[in-house]
Structure 1
Amino acid sequence: MPIEIKELHIKINVNEGSKKSTPSAPKSKDQDAVAECVEQVMKIIERKKER
Protein backbone atom coordinates (compact mmCIF):
# COMPACT_ATOMS: atom_id res chain seq x y z
CA MET A 1 0.00 0.00 0.00
CA PRO A 2 1.62 3.29 -1.07
CA ILE A 3 1.91 6.20 1.31
CA GLU A 4 0.58 9.55 0.08
CA ILE A 5 1.80 12.81 1.61
CA LYS A 6 -1.02 15.33 1.53
CA GLU A 7 0.75 18.29 3.11
CA LEU A 8 4.34 19.37 3.44
CA HIS A 9 5.33 22.17 5.79
CA ILE A 10 8.73 23.80 5.35
CA LYS A 11 10.05 26.32 7.86
CA ILE A 12 13.06 28.47 7.06
CA ASN A 13 14.76 31.05 9.27
CA VAL A 14 16.69 33.73 7.42
CA ASN A 15 18.97 36.16 9.22
CA GLU A 16 19.73 39.05 6.89
CA GLY A 17 21.21 41.19 9.65
CA SER A 18 24.30 39.03 10.11
CA LYS A 19 26.59 39.60 7.14
CA LYS A 20 29.82 37.66 6.90
CA SER A 21 32.70 38.58 4.63
CA THR A 22 32.76 35.63 2.24
CA PRO A 23 33.86 35.39 -1.36
CA SER A 24 31.14 35.68 -3.98
CA ALA A 25 31.64 32.08 -5.19
CA PRO A 26 29.84 30.40 -2.22
CA LYS A 27 27.01 32.91 -2.54
CA SER A 28 26.58 31.79 -6.14
CA LYS A 29 26.42 28.16 -4.99
CA ASP A 30 23.72 29.08 -2.48
CA GLN A 31 21.73 30.83 -5.18
CA ASP A 32 22.12 27.79 -7.44
CA ALA A 33 20.83 25.53 -4.68
CA VAL A 34 17.84 27.79 -4.06
CA ALA A 35 17.09 27.99 -7.79
CA GLU A 36 17.23 24.20 -8.06
CA CYS A 37 14.85 23.79 -5.11
CA VAL A 38 12.42 26.30 -6.61
CA GLU A 39 12.55 24.47 -9.94
CA GLN A 40 11.81 21.13 -8.28
CA VAL A 41 8.90 22.59 -6.31
CA MET A 42 7.45 24.10 -9.49
CA LYS A 43 7.68 20.71 -11.22
CA ILE A 44 5.85 19.08 -8.31
CA ILE A 45 3.12 21.73 -8.46
CA GLU A 46 2.71 21.21 -12.22
CA ARG A 47 2.42 17.43 -11.75
CA LYS A 48 -0.17 17.99 -9.05
CA LYS A 49 -2.22 20.19 -11.41
CA GLU A 50 -2.14 17.49 -14.09
CA ARG A 51 -3.83 14.96 -11.80
Structure 2
Amino acid sequence: MTVEELKRMDRRIRRIPDPFGSGYEAWMKILKEYAEKNDTSVTNIAMQHFAWRIKN
Protein backbone atom coordinates (compact mmCIF):
# COMPACT_ATOMS: atom_id res chain seq x y z
CA MET A 1 0.00 0.00 0.00
CA THR A 2 1.10 3.54 -0.61
CA VAL A 3 1.43 6.09 2.15
CA GLU A 4 -1.56 7.96 0.73
CA GLU A 5 -3.71 4.83 0.93
CA LEU A 6 -2.58 4.24 4.51
CA LYS A 7 -3.45 7.83 5.43
CA ARG A 8 -6.89 7.51 3.82
CA MET A 9 -7.56 4.22 5.58
CA ASP A 10 -6.32 5.63 8.91
CA ARG A 11 -8.71 8.60 8.65
CA ARG A 12 -11.62 6.21 8.11
CA ILE A 13 -10.56 3.97 11.01
CA ARG A 14 -10.13 6.95 13.37
CA ARG A 15 -13.79 7.90 12.77
CA ILE A 16 -14.89 4.58 14.32
CA PRO A 17 -15.62 5.26 18.02
CA ASP A 18 -14.54 1.83 19.35
CA PRO A 19 -12.79 -0.19 16.60
CA PHE A 20 -11.97 -3.14 18.87
CA GLY A 21 -15.35 -3.23 20.61
CA SER A 22 -18.71 -2.24 19.18
CA GLY A 23 -17.07 -0.86 16.02
CA TYR A 24 -15.18 -4.06 15.24
CA GLU A 25 -17.36 -4.95 12.25
CA ALA A 26 -16.85 -1.51 10.72
CA TRP A 27 -13.08 -1.81 11.25
CA MET A 28 -13.01 -5.26 9.62
CA LYS A 29 -15.09 -3.99 6.69
CA ILE A 30 -12.49 -1.29 6.00
CA LEU A 31 -9.63 -3.80 6.24
CA LYS A 32 -11.40 -6.24 3.92
CA GLU A 33 -12.09 -3.48 1.41
CA TYR A 34 -8.41 -2.49 1.26
CA ALA A 35 -7.31 -6.14 1.18
CA GLU A 36 -9.48 -6.84 -1.85
CA LYS A 37 -8.36 -3.63 -3.54
CA ASN A 38 -4.67 -4.51 -3.04
CA ASP A 39 -5.11 -8.26 -3.68
CA THR A 40 -3.68 -9.29 -0.31
CA SER A 41 -4.88 -10.63 3.04
CA VAL A 42 -6.64 -8.73 5.80
CA THR A 43 -3.79 -9.68 8.12
CA ASN A 44 -1.25 -8.11 5.79
CA ILE A 45 -3.26 -4.88 5.58
CA ALA A 46 -3.61 -4.74 9.38
CA MET A 47 0.14 -5.32 9.81
CA GLN A 48 0.97 -2.57 7.30
CA HIS A 49 -1.38 -0.17 9.07
CA PHE A 50 0.00 -0.94 12.53
CA ALA A 51 3.60 -0.65 11.31
CA TRP A 52 2.80 2.69 9.68
CA ARG A 53 1.10 3.96 12.85
CA ILE A 54 4.10 2.98 14.97
CA LYS A 55 6.45 4.88 12.65
CA ASN A 56 4.31 8.00 12.75
- For normalisation by structure 2, the TM-score amounts to 0.35
Higher relative contact order (CA 8 A, sep 6+): 2
If the length of structure 1 is used for normalisation, what is the TM-score?
A: 0.38
